[in-house]
Amino acid sequence: NDMGFHHDDIPLSTGLLTPVTTVLSLVGWALLLVVAFLLRQRWPLLWLAVLFFLVGHSMESTIIPLEMVYEHRNYLPATMACLALAYLIVVPAARSGRVGVGYPLAGVVTVLSLLLFVRVQTWSDEVQLGRLNLMHHPESARANHLYANALLKKIHTAAQGAPVDGERRETLLLARH
C-alpha cells in the first residue's frame, strides 16, 4: 500500500512500541549511523550520505505541523545516497578495468524509462489515477475525494446536457466529504 501519493491513512506512532516499526526504525538508523561513523575513514561517501540524509530530514522536521508523509522531502536528502550507490557500482568496475560498465547502467535507465512510461499512462487519465490511489489507500479521505472528483468530472463531461442520474451524482458528491 505504499504506492500512491495519499498517505493520510498511515498509522501514526504514539510510542516506541506503538507500532513496533517505530523502535525497529530507530534501531536501524542508529546501527546505520554507527556503521557509517566507524567506516568514515575507509568509505567517507557512506558517512556523508547518511549524514546528509539525516540532516536534510531534520531541517524538514519542525514544530510546524506538516504532512506526515510527503515524498518531495526525500528528493534532496536522497541525492547523496544515490551518489554513494552509483559510486559503489561504477568505481569498482572501472578500477578492475572491466569493459561493460555501461551495460548495467543502460539496463537501469531502460527499466526506469519503462516505469516512467507506465506512470505517465496512469497520470494521464484522472479517473484511473484516482482509482489506483484509492486501491492502494482505501481508508484515505484524500484518495476518496480525488476519485469522487474525477468521476464527477467524467459524468459532467459525458452528460453534455443529458440528465445525470441523481442518485449516482449524490453518492459521488457525498463521497467527496
pLDDT tens-digit series, residues 26-53: 999 999 999 999 999 999 999 999 999 9
Beta bridge partners of 15: 18
pTM across the whole model: 0.65
The verdict on residue 66 lying in a domain is yes
| pLDDT digits 0-9 by tens, 74-110 | 888 889 988 888 888 777 777 777 656 677 778 888 9
* Closest among 111, 107, 176 to 148, alpha carbons compared: 176
Residue 168 lies in a domain: no
Q: Does 166 map to a domain?
A: no
How high is the pLDDT of residue 140?
Answer: 87
138 Cβ contact partners less than 8 Å away, ≥ 6 residues apart: 9
In a domain, 33, yes or no: no
Classify residue 13: in a domain, yes or no: no
Q: Cα(176)–Cα(107) distance, rounded to whole angstroms?
A: 42
% of the chain beyond a pLDDT of 70: 79
27 part of a folded domain: no
| Nearest-5° Cα angle at 113, 109 to 114 | 120
Largest CA distance in the chain: 72
Nearest to 5 by CA among 112, 103, 147, 109: 147
Q: Are 137 and 6 in contact (CB under 8 A)?
A: yes
Q: Which residue from 89, 111, 110 is spatially nearest to 100, judged by alpha carbons?
A: 89
Structural domain that includes position 75: 39-123
- On whether residue 100 sits in a domain, the answer given is yes
User: Is residue 106 situated within a structural domain?
Assistant: yes
Residue 16 has pLDDT above 80, yes or no: yes
CB 47 within 8 A of CB 39: yes
For the chain, the domain total comes to 1
Decide if 31 contacts 24 (C-beta within 8 A): no
> Which set of grid coordinates corresponds to residue 47?
558517512
